[in-house]
Amino acid sequence: MSKDTVEHFLITYNIASGIAHVDPYGSDYEAALSAYDAAEELARNDENLDIVLVGAENLEVVKRTHSSYFETKESLESLLPEGFIS
Per-domain residue ranges for the chain? 3-77
Residue 68: what pLDDT?
A: 86
The tally of CA atoms less than 13 A away on the side-chain side of residue 41 is 6
pLDDT given for residue 2 in this prediction: 54
Find, among 2, 7, 1, 4, the residue nearest to 59 by Cα: 7
Straight-line distance from the first to the last Cα atom of the chain, in angstroms, rounded to the nearest whole number: 46
Per-residue model confidence as pLDDT tens digits over 23-35? 999 999 999 999 9
* Angle value at C-alpha 69, between 58 and 14, nearest 5 degrees: 125
Name the residue among 6, 9, 4 with its Cα closest to residue 53. 9
pLDDT along the chain (86 residues), means of 10: 79 90 96 97 93 95 88 54 60
C-alpha 46: how far from chain center: 17
